[in-house]
């Protein structure tokens, strides 16, 4: 971990300053999470949706900006894990960071103020950039997991990474289609598909803390952001591309910028190894 700090400091004094600022903002939140837990609003929303759907009630009836807007299938999931409580959900959220085995990335995640804001309220965007990083390294399971999250919690900013994976990782194309068909079918079978779609159409339009409706602010000029996002995607700058194509920004989306610190040389080496192994298998 010390060597990771040294690498960050050597990479750029500005990055070191940003990490220090994030730590200064994050540590008080981390202290409150452990020693002075507040009411985790989003955790209550998620588990209440689970109770509602199990009781046959509409989990999308809420009208506040924090109302439930994920797949009805996830409402069943949160009903099942409600007994672990907010603290258990926090551990479940943070533990996978260790899978990265890269001190630089682990530091960037754990120092990030947006991450600890999510942890305090009980929601977790962390799984999106984490699965993206692992999938970009070559993990097929993470690629499938990323596709599943895209169908369960659809966000436009996930499209650049998904497009990149489908472009460069042909072996993920059929599993992604299968995952999509299964999850869409499951959603329809819950009977709450229409209500979910109606709720999704409102996402980003409601006022809220740390939320900017980019589409509304830019109007027709937003098409330029799509063009920028496409160009960045083609150059492999997937963190910046994700932010560029998002029609609305919330604080946690800043975690996608950590993708810019991934080891792209290692990705190229892994890709070449997969290509050579595939060619060897076909030759036999």
Per-residue confidence in pLDDT tens, the chain, 284 aa: 545 445 554 556 666 677 777 778 788 888 787 777 777 888 999 999 999 999 999 999 877 767 899 999 999 999 999 999 988 998 888 888 988 888 888 888 988 888 988 888 888 899 999 999 999 999 999 999 999 999 999 999 999 999 999 999 999 999 999 999 999 999 999 999 999 999 888 775 555 555 778 878 888 888 999 999 999 999 999 999 999 999 988 889 999 999 998 877 666 666 666 665 655 555 55
Q: Which residues contact 170 (CB under 8 A, 6 or more apart)?
A: none
Is residue 168 domain-resident? Answer: yes
Contact at 8 Å (CB) between 253 and 157?
Answer: yes
- What does the pLDDT read at residue 103? 85
How far is Cα 94 from Cα 39, in angstroms, rounded to an integer?
19
Question: How remote is the C-alpha of 72 from its chain's centroid?
Answer: 18
252: number of CA atoms within 13 Å, CB side?
Answer: 18
Is residue 187 domain-resident? Answer: yes
Tell me how many degrees the CA angle 95-97-101 measures, rounded to the nearest 5. Answer: 120
204 in the Ramachandran plot: left (φ > 0), alpha (ψ -120 to 50) or beta?
left
- What does the pLDDT read at residue 249? 87
Number of domains in the chain: 1
Is residue 233 domain-resident? Answer: no
Q: Which domain holds residue 199?
A: 2-207
Residue 211, φ and ψ in degrees, nearest 5: -130, 130
How far is Cα 103 from Cα 107, in angstroms, rounded to an integer?
6
The encoded tokens of residue 256 equal 């996608």
Q: What predicted TM-score, i.e. pTM, was given to this entire model?
A: 0.86
For the chain, how far is it from start to end, CA to CA, in angstroms? 43
Residue 280, φ and ψ in degrees, nearest 5: -65, -40
Residue whose token pair is 């330029």 = 224
Residue 249, φ and ψ in degrees, nearest 5: -115, 135
Is residue 249 domain-resident? Answer: no
How far is Cα 243 from Cα 234, in angstroms, rounded to an integer?
15
- What does the pLDDT read at residue 2? 46
Task: Count each helix (H run) and each strand (E run) in the chain, helices first.
Answer: 16, 2
Is residue 66 domain-resident? Answer: yes
How far is Cα 231 from Cα 229, in angstroms, rounded to an integer?
5
Helix (H, G, I), strand (E, B) or coil at 212: strand
Residue 212, φ and ψ in degrees, nearest 5: -130, 125
């Amino acid at each position: 971990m010390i060597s990771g700090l040294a690498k960050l400091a050597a990479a750029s004094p500005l990055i070191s300053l940003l990490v220090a600022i994030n730590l200064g903002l994050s540590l008080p939140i981390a202290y409150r999470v452990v020693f002075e837990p507040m009411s985790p609003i989003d955790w209550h929303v998620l588990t209440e949706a689970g109770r509602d759907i199990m009781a046959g009630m509409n989990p999308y009836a809420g009208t506040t900006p924090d109302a439930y807007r994920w797949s009805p299938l996830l409402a069943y999931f949160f009903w099942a894990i409600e007994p672990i409580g907010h603290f258990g959900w926090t551990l479940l959220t943070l533990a996978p960071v260790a899978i990265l085995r890269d001190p630089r990335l682990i530091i960037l995640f754990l120092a990030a103020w947006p991450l600890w804001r999510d942890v305090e309220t009980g929601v977790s965007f962390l799984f999106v950039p984490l699965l993206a990083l692992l999938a970009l390294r070559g993990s097929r399971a993470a690629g499938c997991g990323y596709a599943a999250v895209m169908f369960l919690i659809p966000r436009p900013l996930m499209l650049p990474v998904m497009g990149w994976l489908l472009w460069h990782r042909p072996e993920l194309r059929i599993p992604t289609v299968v995952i999509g068909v299964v999850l869409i079918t499951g959603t329809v079978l819950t009977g709450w598909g229409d209500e979910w779609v109606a709720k999704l159409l409102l996402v980003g339009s409601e006022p809220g803390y740390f939320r900017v409706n980019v589409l509304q602010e830019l109007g027709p000029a937003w098409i330029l952001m799509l063009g920028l996002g496409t160009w960045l995607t083609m150059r492999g700058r997937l963190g910046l591309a994700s932010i560029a194509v998002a029609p609305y920004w919330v604080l946690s989306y800043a975690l996608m910028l950590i993708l810019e610190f991934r080891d792209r040389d290692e990705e190229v080496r892994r890709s070449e190894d997969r290509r050579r192994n595939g060619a060897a298998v076909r030759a036999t």
